[in-house]
């Protein structure tokens, strides 16, 4: 099996079609809404939570069976049905319209697969086993969620500020030196005094400047 190409998609204000209205589809809605997607759901039956979101105009709901043409204008589609024939029809339409498609738990029909995700602040870690073992992806996600390595994610806003300031000053810091400077000392300082942490990090980074633009 060829490996999947990792990517993070910008779905803000893009139409995403979900076919199926059960609890699995409900979980997909939450992830897409968090990223600002516009959602159209097609299903003759939906959960009470989905119905509530439809009543509140959070998403567009069409309570009926899927029919060819439902993916017109879509950027991305998710099929969460247990009907083999319907899934094949959805796959054919997605291919015709060049719509990215995830068919839940049927990897060979997908043009993308949904990873197991860990989020902390602005940092997102996506885990994929290429569809071979969802259980392993979940296990790795659960281990990462409690791992102290994710404490570094708290510093993302500060690191962005330092990076921008160095760029404005024309300083070029080698990537390896960045890695060296992102250490436990800076992390501990960040959690006790963010101003001191930023000053300490910037001074350490400037020691490794190779040139100025």
pLDDT value for 5: 85
Provide the whole-model pTM: 0.81
Type and span of the H or E element at 137: helix 134-145
pLDDT at 105: 87
Q: Residue 2: pLDDT above 80?
A: no
C-alpha distance from residue 76 to each of 16, 42, 103, 131, 170 (Å): 5, 14, 11, 19, 40
Given a contact cutoff of 8 angstroms between Cβ atoms, the answer to whether 128 and 115 are in contact is: yes
| pLDDT digit string, tens, across residues 79-126 | 999 899 999 999 999 999 999 999 998 989 999 988 899 999 999 999
Residues for the chain: how many in total? 213
Contact 102, 114 (CB under 8 A): yes
25-50, pLDDT tens digit by residue? 988 998 999 999 999 999 999 999 99
Question: What are 177-202's pLDDT values in tens digits?
Answer: 999 999 999 999 999 999 999 999 99
Among residues 77, 88, 66, the alpha carbon closest in space to that of 28 is found at: 77
* Residue 131 contacts residue 137 (beta carbons within 8 Å): no
Provide the pLDDT for residue 210.
61
């Amino acid at each position: 099996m060829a490996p999947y190409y990792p990517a993070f998609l910008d779905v803000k204000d893009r139409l995403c079609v979900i076919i199926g209205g059960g609890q699995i589809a409900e979980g997909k809605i939450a992830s897409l809404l968090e990223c600002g997607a516009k959602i159209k759901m097609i299903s003759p039956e939906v959960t009470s939570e989905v119905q509530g979101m439809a009543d509140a105009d959070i998403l567009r709901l069409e309570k009926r069976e899927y029919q060819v043409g439902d993916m017109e204008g879509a950027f991305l589609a998710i099929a969460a049905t247990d009907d083999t024939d319907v899934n094949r029809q959805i796959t054919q339409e997605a291919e015709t319209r060049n719509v990215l498609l995830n068919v839940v738990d049927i990897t060979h029909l997908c043009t993308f697969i949904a990873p197991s995700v860990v989020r902390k602040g602005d940092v997102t870690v996506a885990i994929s086993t290429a569809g071979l073992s969802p259980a392993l992806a979940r296990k790795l996600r659960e281990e990462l969620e409690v791992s102290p390595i994710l404490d570094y994610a708290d510093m993302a806003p500060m690191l962005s500020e330092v990076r921008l300031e160095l760029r404005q000053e024309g300083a070029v810091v080698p990537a390896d030196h960045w890695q060296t400077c992102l250490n436990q000392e800076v992390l501990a300082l960040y959690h006790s005094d963010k101003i001191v942490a930023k000053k300490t990090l910037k001074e350490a980074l400037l020691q490794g400047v190779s040139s100025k633009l």
